[in-house]
A and B are shown apart, each in its own frame.
Chain A
Amino acid sequence: MAQIFKPSANSVAKLTLISVVLGVPSLWLAIAGLSRSPANTKVDVPLNQPVPFSHQHHVWELGLDCRYCHTTVEKSSYAGLPSTETCMSCHSQIWTNSPMLEPVRQSYETNTPIQWNLVNKVPQFVFFNHSIHIARGLNCNICHGAVNNMQITWKGNSFQMAWCLQCHRAPERYLHENKTAEGQTPRQQVFNMYWQLQEHGLKDLPEKEKQLADGHFAGSDEAADLEAGKELIKKYGVHTQQLADCSVCHH
């Protein structure tokens, strides 16, 4: 009887086996890599907005406080996006003819809000609260990156659960206090950093805050920092034993 396959079928069979052995783990790694890459997380990818708003210009160059626009960040779960009226509080006076600001004027005249594109978001089943994080002295830049240096805003961190848990499982790595700002509440310290930065520039900031202003702060494992962090946990009353419970974020 004639052979069904030629001898080359052996090579094909071997090649198939090898490609399965290599291919399946490769595919797995590719999916793992892709889901953590900016292609999926959008970290460092500027997101275009209806108006090319520059945080760098307004925060760093002009020195606006975060709370001027994000008014509810200290009191509410939601930091808040500025209304058109907030923009117009200045732009009814300056740059009144700038074509870049045309959508703002349009919005103001027609009484329809500007539809900003959300840069930082968590899923609906995550009950994130800004106010508690501010109240424990966690600087905006820890999560949002160096917003003060962004022209068009991008996401500073992945906001994936593993990222949240880095702090929720070990808050001592992230909590810090500016010793030079004596007598300030943790909440005041958050905004004090931007104030200092505006007044004296980077060079006068403590090391930790320099990193923050650059957007390079990713927790500290140094013994002294951890020690200080643990002190702060006690001082601020952070309930570490329940901080990584499911129900803290997923009620």
Chain B
Amino acid sequence: MQNRVMFLKIAEAIKKVDKRAWIALALCLSLIIGIVIFDTVKKNREFQTTSVAMGTIINIKLYGPDGEETAQLIAENINETERALLSRNEENSDIDRINNNPDTSVSVSYETADIISKSLEVSKNCGGVFDITIGEITKLWNFDGENQSVPAKEKIDEALSLVGYPYVELSDTSVKIKEGQSLDLGAVGKGAACDRIKTLLESTKTDSAIISVGGSLLLYGDREFTVGIANPQNSQTTLGTLELSDAFVSTSGNYEKFFEQDGETYHHILDATTGYPADSRLSSVTVVCDSGLLSDALSTACYILGYQESISLLAKYNAQAVFVFKDKTIRTTDGLRECFTLTDESFVVGK
């Protein structure tokens, strides 16, 4: 009975609602539905995937239409960078042909020549601590292999006599190295891959994207991304974040690859002037600039050079950096002060 009264009351109330109210209600509902649909469509335009290529983890996050196809193109592009251009283990890649034909002018792709040219320029600007002719030394240390040990000093000295960027002759797309030398683009490969991906994305409808090639990042488009800087003591966590858009970010740290022998830790960032792991007060350096190759090369060079000497090098390339010291202090260059946020309170931001 009570229900019936209630029902009648509601029916009466509905009758009282005038036409304008119904129209208003319809408008409100369509607005809500519109927002929900828009939100769903927007989410569909986000595509995310993870894979393995170039011997490292690739993370891709794309915003815009055709995400899945674009991710496929990116994967192919990275494999191509490895296979045809930069790998020294891949038979007939540009680098493999250069290394196997010393004292001979080897014709390479325009892209490889450009990568070598820019790398040589960085070597020159940093006094040779970073040097792509370090190939024979990295072979001795074998950080990518198993059962590492410290190479004999005589072997390092012998290999060191062959390291030297001035011996590389580059004209247009012809490259010639000295007998006994070998090129290793390991320190710039991931960044160079990011550069190639940017060129690829420009030919797609992608609005914005963030892509990680083994920790070297490409931030594409106007969207602002939050980039975490790995904590050197536990690289699954972050020590701070950077708010950035349209940039390349690369980090070099002593925690990436290392081994221990007789109580000493040997990390993989080799000083090309000594042939040994760089003796640095730093745990890591993160470089932000407008080129993937340069952010990669500069992060390595800055790690080896240390804070003071890095400042002028970074200025030359209009690059910014975050320096993390072993004593857990952090210093950023002026350009990053505003966008850096500390997230791990056990670190201290110095002035």
Bind each other? no
- Which A residues fall within an 8 A CB radius of B? none
Interface residues of B (CB under 8 A from A): none
